[in-house]
Amino acid sequence: MPAQTAQILDGKALAQKIQSQLKERIQTLEPQIGRPPGLAVLMVGDNPASAAYVRGKERACKNVGIASFGRHFPTQTSQQELEQVIDELNRDERVDGILVQLPLPEHLDSNALLYKIHPDKDVDGLHPVNLGRLVRSEPGLRSCTPAGVIRLLQEYEIELKGKQAVMVGRSILVGKPLALMLLEENATVTIAHSRTQDLASVVRQADILVTAIGRQETIGADMVKPGAVVVDVGINRVVGANGESRLVGDVNFDAVAEVARYITPVPGGVGPMTVAMLLHNTVQSYGRTG
């Protein structure tokens, strides 16, 4: 019998659909508000991966009609200088969203910078006020990657209510907020991490398995319940014998695709959704100003 192949959860296609919807929404709102939405991405230093991400975000902004107020600072920029820039952007009525591109050089305190951003302009959804709103199930800006995962599951009409969801990873960027969002959708949520005993047996219980640990192909077919939904948030760069690099996730895609019912690819799964939700948050913040 041929191996059963899971249905792909296509984040790239959904991200394009969301961008088209946002473009239409901006075209409706702009005549009423009198300006386009504005997003400021602040980048410090010369991390090549960060530079590529920022370029991607700026391209996506241009596609939907969001004005970019991005700033690129030299590595040695001081904490005080950056905090001053964030204060100015908080007051700037043309700017609806402010994002500090992580990671930052070691001499900077990223938490202090995040706390400086006004919660209503915190399009990354990482300010304690927005995380608090999530805990209380109140409206607010939601963290982009977790919100993108939920939106992707909704697009494919995957039932979360009453399901066993296992979140592997507990970072403030993905694991913790996504566990709360799954709980909000009435899933029964387990958070597993590097100190979890017998990780394989915990993961094998999952109807919905989300992994964000950043270790290449850790999750094999023997760890996945047949018919599970597998969402791979991990992005790991591996270099082959020929010296060429490629991106892989935390999941052994080919093996797991034979037992799962749905699976996200890497790349082309969760990554594009993160950018789409960043644009969504910017437009949400902009719509409130109208």
Task: Report the C-alpha gap between 54 and 236 in whole angstroms.
Answer: 19
pLDDT tens, residue order, the chain (290 aa):
446 699 999 999 999 999 999 999 999 999 999 999 999 999 999 988 889 889 999 999 999 999 999 999 999 999 999 999 999 999 999 999 999 999 999 999 999 999 999 999 999 999 999 999 999 999 999 999 999 999 999 999 999 999 999 999 999 999 999 999 999 999 999 999 999 999 999 999 999 999 999 999 999 999 999 999 999 999 988 888 888 888 899 999 999 999 999 999 999 999 999 999 999 999 999 998 75
* Whole-number pLDDT of residue 171: 95
Burial pattern 143-156, b for ≥16 Cβ within 10 A else e, equals: bbbbbbbbbbbebe
Q: Point out the residues that are catalytic.
A: 57, 101, 124
* Whole-number pLDDT of residue 243: 86
* Whole-number pLDDT of residue 2: 47
Task: Report the C-alpha gap between 9 and 263 in whole angstroms.
Answer: 6
* Whole-number pLDDT of residue 222: 97
pTM: 0.95
- 3-state secondary structure string, 28-55? HHHHHHCCCCEEEEEEECCCHHHHHHHH
Going by C-alpha positions, the residue among 66, 72, 132, 134 that lies closest to residue 97 is: 66
- Residue spans of alpha helices (H) in the chain: 11-33, 48-64, 79-91, 110-116, 128-135, 144-155, 175-184, 199-203, 253-256, 270-289
- Partnered with residue 263 across adjacent β-strands are 8, 230
The answer to the question of whether 235 is labelled as a binding residue is yes
* Whole-number pLDDT of residue 230: 98
Domains detected in the chain: 35-118 (3.40.50.10860), 143-271 (3.40.50.720)
Going by C-alpha positions, the residue among 253, 210, 207 that lies closest to residue 227 is: 207
Task: Report the C-alpha gap between 255 and 259 in whole angstroms.
Answer: 8
